[in-house]
Structure 1
Amino acid sequence: MQPRDLSDHVAYEAGRGIEEVARELGRDPSEFIKLASNENPHGPSPAAAVAIREAASSVSSYPKSAHTDLSAAIADRWDVDPSQVWLANGGDGAIDYLSRAMLEPDDDVLVPSPGFAYYGMSARFHHGDVREYELERAEDFAQTPETVLSAYDDDRIVYLTSPHNPSGSTVDLADVERIAEETGDDSLVVVDEAYGEFADVDSAVALLEGRDGFEARDDVAVLRTFSKAYGLAGLRLGYAIVPEEWADAYARVNTPFAASELACRAGLAAIDDDEHVERTLETARTSREYMREHLDAHVWPSEGNFVLVAVGDATAVAEETRERGVIVRDCSSFGLPGCIRVTCGTEAETDRAVETINAVLEDVAPESREVSEA
């Protein structure tokens, strides 16, 4: 007996952790810093850490009240109805719920390339097909309406990423509105705002609710996560905000108690921890500006908590940088073999990363380094 044919499926390649790299190299973990997975350099929200400890004795119970309370808190934050908040096991869990709610067998989803691999993975898990629109390096990976719409062919879901991973580019709300307006009545535009807190653009939730001069739409959904700005990546807590007209589909597609008791309690504490979030955002702004100014390579403008860097041979540079104690992301898995992605760290981590990468570029790839219009 065998599972169904999975030959078209690809495995998600996560960034490698310190313990994993240290074991492989036979080194002490304290020698390394990890700037490969866009995690929060300040750790979790302190308020969330307290909530986790206090909630530990209640994990024998299902998280019904915590689930309800967190949905209400998120709804209050975004001024939407709680039924529009689809809590999930990370942002990828919310993607799965949208796939379950939207896709019939052989429906297409349209995804950016390069982009987050799980958009397509989730579609295939749910017997859908995947099509791509290409984002151009020379155009700073801009997700323009023309780029998206020229590739569109009645796809059931159209994914936009703002800020985009791995480049850090964003999408203006007027452009999201135009894409939604010019796609079919049966197409849902999903705006992934996993890094939205770091960006100087308004959330696409305004399009769902008809705010800021936009008309309310029933063909846009928004993804958010507690992994980045709130520092709760290890708890796997995310959510979708969906149009009110079909919010009740959640009860038919979600797993029982989609987020754990600990995750819900941590989320309830973190969502009000403005001090931690603001510290995190300021660190990201400072770090990405420093890397743009001081890395001896082309660095794309970014509104995420990371930067994309053109280095010529990404695998060689990433491997040598790792040998010298700084773990960065080789973007070959994104289809960008000439680029690495570097997470915004603390001041000390950013200084070390810049010094190390520059030294590696000088030693490993000076003849193939891409600068200016990479």
Structure 2
Amino acid sequence: MQPRDLSDHVAYEAGRGIEEVARELGRDPSEFIKLASNENPHGPSPAAAVAIRETASSVSSYPKAAHADLTTAVADRWGVGDEQVWLANGGDGAIDYLHRAALEPADDVLVPTPGFAYYGMSSRFHHGDVREYELSRAADFAQEADAVLDVYDGERVIWLTSPHNPTGSTMSLTEIECLAEGTDEDTLVAVDEAYGEFADRDSAVALIEGRDGFDARDDVAVLRTFSKAYGLAGVRLGYAVVPAEWADAYARVNTPFAASELACRAGLAAIDDDEHVRRTVETARESRAYMRENIDTHVWESEGNFVLAAVGDATAVSDEMQERGVIVRDCSSFGLPGCVRITCGTEEETERAVETLNDVLDDLDVEPESTGESEDPDAEVADP
């Protein structure tokens, strides 16, 4: 017996960890810093860490109360009804729930390239197909409604990533509204705001609720996560905010207890830890500015907790940086073989990354390319 045909599916390629790299190179893990996976350099919210320790003795129970309490806390934060918050096992779990609720077999989703591989992976898991729209390197990866509508052909779900990974570009609410207006009434515009806390932009929740001068819409959903600004990537906690009209679907598409007891208790503590988020966002903004000003090659403006840098040969540069103790993301798997992505670290980590990258570029005599069209628009894309 064999599994079903998975030949169209893309393997999820995670960023490499310090322990993995250290073992491979036969080195001490303390020699390395990891700036490859857009993790929080300050770690988890301290309040969340306390909550996890205090909850450890109660994990024999299902998280019914904690799940309900966190749903209410998130709903209160966004000013929506509890039924509009779909808790999930990470942001990828929320992607699955939206696809379960929206897709019929053979429906298409429209995804950005370069972009997050799991949009397409999840669609295929749910027997949907995948089409792509390109974010052009020549246009600095700008996100505009017309560029998406030029490719749009009645897809059931359109995925936007704002801020976008790996480029850091964003799409304004006005452009998102234009996109939703220009699509069929049965098309869902799903806005992935995993890095939303780092951007100086309002959330697309305003479009769902009809705030700030926008009309309320039933064809927009927003994805958020506790992995980035809150530092809870390891507990896997995310959620979607959906239109009120979608409320009844959650009970029919979610898994039993969509987030664990530990995750829910950590989220409840973290969501009120505004100081940790403020510090994290401030560090990211300072790190982004430092890298743009001091890296000796083109670095795109970013509103995420990372920057994208043009380095000519991403594999050679990232491999050499790794040898020198700085792990960054080779973006070849995103279809950008001339670029690396560098997560915003602490001041010390950021300065080390910049110095190492500049030395590597000089030593390898690499002539970085900073203009030109997306290098391989047909390449499969990768993860965050």
TM-score normalised over the length of structure 2: 0.96
Residue identity in the other structure for 2:50: V
Cα distance in 1 for partners of 2:36, 2:364 equals 20
* 1:136-175 matches, cutoff 5 A: 136-175=136-175
Unaligned runs of 5+ in 2: 374-384
Quote the Cα distance in structure 2 between the aligned partners of 1:7 and 1:329. 26
Contact 1:48/1:266 (<8 A) preserved: yes
- Could you say which residue in structure 2 is the equivalent of 1:90? 90
RMSD: 0.8
Q: Give the Cα separation in 2 of the matches to 1:281 and 1:248.
A: 35
Q: Which amino acid aligns with 2:8?
A: D
Per the alignment, residue 226 of structure 2 pairs with 226
Query: What is aligned with 1:6?
Result: 6
Equivalent positions of 1:324-339 (< 5 A) are: 324-339=324-339
Whether the 8 Å contact between 1:317 and 1:365 is mirrored in structure 2 is no
Q: Deviations over 1:200-231 (max 9, x none)?
A: 01100000000000000000000000000000
- Return the letter of the residue paired with 1:130: V
Q: Which runs of 5+ in 1 are unaligned?
A: none
How far does residue 247 in structure 1 lie from its aligned partner after superposition?
A: 1.2
Following superposition, the deviation at residue 372 of structure 1 comes to: 6.5
Deviation at 1:138, TM superposition (A): 1.4
- Work out the CA distance in 2 between the residues paired with 1:53 and 1:224: 25
Aligned to 2:265: 265
The one-letter amino acid of 1:63's match is P
Q: Give the Cα separation in 1 of the matches to 2:69 and 2:248.
A: 17
Query: How far is 1:146 from its partner?
Result: 1.1
How much identity, in percent, do the aligned residues show? 80
Separation (CA, whole Å) in 2 of partners of 1:29 and 1:35: 14
8 Å Cα contact 2:111-2:133 kept in structure 1: yes
Return the letter of the residue paired with 1:320.
E
Q: Which runs of 4+ in 1 moved over 6 A?
A: none
How far apart are residue 373 of structure 1 and its match? 7.0
Distance 2:58 2:365 in 1: 54
What do residues 162-200 of structure 1 show as CA deviations (whole Å, max 9, x unaligned)? 000000000100000010011001100000000000000
2:208 aligns with: 208
Structure 1 residues 348-373: Cα deviation after superposition (integer angstroms, max 9, x where no partner): 0000000000000111143x312477
3-state SS, counterpart of residue 224 of structure 2: strand
Q: Hey, what does 2:76 align to over in structure 1?
A: 76
Q: For residue 82 of structure 1, report the CA deviation from its aligned partner.
A: 0.5
Map Cα deviations across residues 296-335 of structure 1 (whole Å, 9 max, x no partner). Answer: 0100000000000000000000000000000000001100
Letter of the structure 1 residue corresponding to residue 75 of structure 2: A
Which residue is equivalent to 2:177? Answer: 177
The alpha-carbon deviation at position 142 of structure 1 amounts to 1.1
User: Which residue identity does 1:178 align to in structure 2?
Assistant: C
1:93–1:26 CA distance, 2 compared to 1 (3 A): same
Cα contact 1:190–1:221 (8 A) shared by 2? yes
CA contact under 8 A between 1:311 and 1:365: conserved in structure 2?
no
| Matches of 1:192 and 1:261, distance apart in 2 | 25
CA deviations on 1:4-27 (whole Å, 9 max, x unpaired) are 000000101110000000000000
Residues 136 and 142 in structure 1, CA contact (< 8 A), matched pair in contact too: yes
Partner of 2:369: 370
How far apart in 2 are the matches of 1:365 and 1:90?
A: 41
